[in-house]
């Protein structure tokens, strides 16, 4: 499983502070690399973002954060969109004692037994306060050129069952505002980095330029026997997408999607 590091937008901190706000470091959990945590609290609502220590350019927001007294908790989602991790911490002067729980939204295939949040990883760890560093400053003050324009539009969903293939397909299509007739459809597989690509502002801007739609499709088995995710053209992927498009045409009032 890819290593996750958790980063939160933060104010400037120093040692001997109290409270959860500040920059924190975890020197590995299980077989993972060190993390940095930069935490900012606004009243009782921690805010920030999650970042992979292997790539300091990508950040993912946290949500459902709470802070009361010396207790802090929040959730974050892994980069592939398949796992939600809940953190609960007790804050000391220069450390936070954390416990975590993982919810795997797609258990097929199962996540690695090793790694940061695998089966063999310890369920508790300690984060130690450190001074702000270059990465913290980059999170707090991103370059202006990194900001991407949000492309307005509409999103529609549909699902189909292909009993003869033993699979079901779920699809979401984003159609930019101002597109009267969809000229093409970009297909994104709902797996791994596909979730990030589907939500990427630059790809959505490209969809507007091309007058096209972006379809996020996920194909999984109908049975519940723990078989792997399909996402395969020869296991019903082609038929699933072709069956999804007429449903999406009806839901979106874009009949051209059927063709």
Q: What is the mean pLDDT of residues 105-121?
A: 59
Of 44-53, 115-124, 131-140, 195-204, where does the model show the most confidence? 195-204
Residue 105 has pLDDT above 50, yes or no: yes
What is the spatial distance between Cα 160 and Cα 163, in angstroms, rounded to a whole number? Answer: 9
The domain locations on the chain are 5-144, 153-258
Question: Is the pLDDT score of 175 beyond 60?
Answer: yes
What tokens does 104 get?
């795997």
Return the pLDDT at 246.
94
Terminal Cα distance for the chain, rounded: 39
Whole-number average pLDDT of the chain? 76
Q: 188: helix, coil or strand?
A: strand
Q: Is 75 helix (H, G, I), strand (E, B) or coil?
A: strand
Specify the residue for token string 């082609």. 238
Q: How many Å apart are CA 224 and CA 55, to the nearest integer?
A: 35
Highest mean pLDDT among 10-19, 109-118, 201-210: 201-210
Out of 1.10.1060, 1.10.260, 2.40.128, 2.60.40, which CATH number does the structure's domain 5-144 have?
Answer: 2.40.128
């Amino acid at each position: 499983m890819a290593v996750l590091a958790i980063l939160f937008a933060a104010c400037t901190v120093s040692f001997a502070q109290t409270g959860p706000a500040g920059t924190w470091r975890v020197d590995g959990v299980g077989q993972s690399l060190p993390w940095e945590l930069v935490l900012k609290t606004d009243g009782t609502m921690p805010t920030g973002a999650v970042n992979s220590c292997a790539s300091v350019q990508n950040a993912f927001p946290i949500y459902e954060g709470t802070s009361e007294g010396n207790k802090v908790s929040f959730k974050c989602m892994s980069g592939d969109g398949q796992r939600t991790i809940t953190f609960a911490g007790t804050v000391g002067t220069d450390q936070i004692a954390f416990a975590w729980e993982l919810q795997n939204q797609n258990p097929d295939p199962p996540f690695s037994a090793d790694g940061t949040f695998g089966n063999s990883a310890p369920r508790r760890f300690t984060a130690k306060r450190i001074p702000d560093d270059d990465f913290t400053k980059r999170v707090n003050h991103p370059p202006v050129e990194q900001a991407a324009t949000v492309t307005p539009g509409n999103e529609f969903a549909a699902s189909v069952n292909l009993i003869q293939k033993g699979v079901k397909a779920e699809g979401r299509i984003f159609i930019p505002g101002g597109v009267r007739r969809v000229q093409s459809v970009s297909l994104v597989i709902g797996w791994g980095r596909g979730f990030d690509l589907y939500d990427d502002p630059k790809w959505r801007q490209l969809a507007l330029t091309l007058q096209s739609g972006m379809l996020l499709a996920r194909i999984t088995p109908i049975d519940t026997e723990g078989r792997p995710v399909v996402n395969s053209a020869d296991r019903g992927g082609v038929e699933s997408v072709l069956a999804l498009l007429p449903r999406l045409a009806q839901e979106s009032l874009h009949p051209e999607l059927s063709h």
